[in-house]
Structure 1
Amino acid sequence: MSIKLELENISKVYKDGDSSIKVLDEVSLQVKSGELVALVGPSGSGKSTFLSIAGALLSPSSGRLFIDNIEISKLPPSKLTEFRLSKIGFIFQMSNLLPYLTVKDQLLLISELTGGQTTVANQKADELLERLGLTNRKMNYPENLSGGEKQRVAIARAFMNDPEVIFADEPTASLDAERGRTVVEMLANEVKKRNKAAIMVTHDKRMLDLCNRVIFIENGRLTEK
């Protein structure tokens, strides 16, 4: 399996007047294709900062980040947005669907942003929606979907640009245990089938058996158990 995501001695320090706060302390991690890695830790442990840096939304104070063997810090700002659109998929705690777009149009918008061909995009959107059991909901608007359905749409949307890495931030927080497990099972299956890499931040220990590895973060340091 190839390495899709690599963090090498990443630190993040915030200045607070004359003092400084180290949120991440030289963390290193590799995630290979086909892997779903859970990231767990208490509030204030650095999970959000870690995810923001790994997802190329925030620059580290030191260290290097590689996605698909490309070092992010060497990309000019003008290329970074394009890189995120083409290489990274995000799934958030709340599905963050656009209320004025149908289910299928949520996916087609991603293709438009990345300059995809209409015919190919239509076929891809239909395939993803079928795999996630949403074919009969593709013309519905978000207000007519259940919480579980919204998160499944969010998963489909995250895979629409065929990214190399997926980041999921508490994707089951708004769901009951059964629907939450279904969503994570679908995420794990898509990651494995498509040889992608994924990191999922979660507080729900009932989902950990669905992940290939579990990484703990506390006081800005990573440990694997």
Structure 2
Amino acid sequence: MEKNKLVLENISKMFGDGDTQVKVLDQVSLQVKAGEFVAVVGPSGSGKSTFLSIAGALLTPTSGRILIGGKDLGQLSPKHLNRIRLEKIGFMFQSSNLIPYLTVRDQLLLIAELTGKKKKEAERKADELLERLGLSHRKNNYPENLSGGERQRVAIARAWMNNPEIILADEPTASLDSERGRAVVEMLADEVKRSQKAAVMVTHDKRMLDLCDRIVYIEDGKLSEMSA
């Protein structure tokens, strides 16, 4: 097992052309080990979401290197990058981004189908996750019939469906009240330890930071460590 599941080395990101170029990230480096839950905090416009998008291979850095499970993403073809995103990374966003015409259970089964999982195995995994997250009684419901907290728990289950090595969460509690937000982050922290995943969470909510192993601060595109 790789000690560091996620490695970002000297990542810089520029947007724009010529004289209008803006440097959003400036020589940022981070290593996240198996079983480690890292929070990224900082003011609006500091580069947090760009950082997370690059970590998840959704954006290409202008310079620098990203390694997931020891593989340098810069050396992979677009096809292989898609497989990495589907199989190695679980994404969570501030809005649950559920598909409105799919039931709770089908949201999870779609992820398994995209990676070619056997139907019976996928159904067993989906039912196991929904039970663990207290959603079994909602498995045939559509997103419009769920509360905000339930929708975010479905998003967690979907992110875990393919047992990813890395979990990336962008403001996962933004649409939730304090109690439901705390419950969501506790679930994330528990899964990171239980399954030895590596997780990075971008958050504005300082009340959740005690659940994280490390806190890094980003401002003006630069990253620095904070004490938890």
Which TM class, normalised by the smaller chain length? Answer: over 0.9
C-alpha distance after superposition, 1:39-58 (max 9, x if no partner): 10001101111011101011
Give every structure 1 segment of 4 or more consecutive aligned residues whose post-TM-superposition deviation is greater than 4 Å.
Answer: none
| Partner residue in 1 for 2:132 | 131
Q: One-letter code of the match for 1:179?
A: R
What TM-score, normalized to structure 1? 0.97
Match of 2:27 in 1: 26
Alignment match, 1:194: 195
Aligned residue in 1 for 2:212: 211
Aligned pair in 2 of structure 1 residues 141, 19: CA closer, same or farther (>3 Å)?
A: closer
1:57 aligns with 2:58: yes
Q: Distance in 2 between matches of 1:220 and 1:32?
A: 23
Deviation at residue 162 of structure 1 after TM alignment: 1.2
1:2-151 maps to which residues of 2 (within 5 A)? 2-151=3-152
Deviation track 1:46-84 (CA, whole Å, cap 9, x = no partner) reads: 111101110101111111000111110000112211221
Q: Give the % identical residues.
A: 70
Structure 2 Cα separation of the partners of residues 207 and 88 of structure 1: 22
User: Can you give the 5+ residue segments of structure 2 that lack an aligned partner in the other structure?
Assistant: none
Aligned match of 1:223: 224
Q: Displacement, 1:19?
A: 4.2
Residues 144-159 of structure 1: pairs in structure 2 closer than 5 A: 144-159=145-160
Instruction: Kindly provide the amino acid, as one letter, of the partner of residue 13 in structure 2.
Output: K
Corresponding residue pairs, total: 225
Question: Which ranges of structure 1 fall in alignment gaps of 5 or more residues?
Answer: none
1:20: Cα distance to partner? 2.5
Cα-Cα RMSD: 1.1
- SS class of match (1:127): helix
Partner letter of residue 168 of structure 1? A
Q: Residues of 2 paired with 1:131 and 1:193: CA distance?
A: 13
Q: Partners of 1:76 and 1:198 in 2: how far apart?
A: 25
Aligned equivalents of 1:137, 1:19: Cα separation in 2: 50
Q: Distance in 1 between matches of 2:132 and 2:72?
A: 33
* Shift, 1:35, TM fit: 1.2
